[in-house]
């Protein structure tokens, strides 16, 4: 497990990658605009979406995301109305990562 947050990994490689991407403080800059990403995968996705016009459409509305996982998160939130509830207060998030951020900041 990560000694800096509650991330759990099943393999050492995944833990090392997590620590490097999330906790190293290194940022990857876009050469076409002022966008910065915590990892190369996010920067690649940004470049494809913002500068190369590659997107993934929602099959239920006009939304277009920069990755399939963002479209899935959009569909779960908007069309399926899935919510992630905080067990310590009334807060509800539309995405799991937003609930995690809430827990870290408020509890």
Separation of alpha carbons 70 and 76, rounded Å:
10
In the predicted structure, residue 6 carries a pLDDT above the cut 80: no
Q: Which residues contact 49 (CB under 8 A, 6 or more apart)?
A: 55, 65, 66
In this structure, the number of other CB atoms found within 10 A of the CB of residue 5 comes to 13
Q: Is 45 in contact with 66 (CB distance < 8 Å)?
A: yes
pTM check: above 0.85: no
Separation of alpha carbons 91 and 47, rounded Å:
34
Separation of alpha carbons 17 and 13, rounded Å:
6
In the predicted structure, residue 93 carries a pLDDT above the cut 80: yes
What mean pLDDT is reported for the chain? 91
């Amino acid at each position: 497990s990560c000694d800096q947050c509650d991330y759990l990994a099943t393999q050492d490689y995944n833990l090392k990658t997590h620590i490097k991407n999330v906790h190293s403080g290194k940022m990857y800059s876009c050469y076409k605009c002022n966008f910065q990403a915590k990892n190369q995968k996010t920067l690649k996705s940004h470049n494809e979406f913002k500068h190369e016009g590659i997107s993934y459409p929602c099959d239920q509305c006009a939304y277009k995301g920069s990755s399939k996982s963002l479209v899935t998160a959009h569909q779960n939130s908007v069309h399926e109305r899935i919510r992630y509830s905080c067990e310590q207060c009334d807060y509800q998030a539309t995405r799991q990562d937003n609930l995690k951020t809430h827990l870290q900041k408020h509890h």
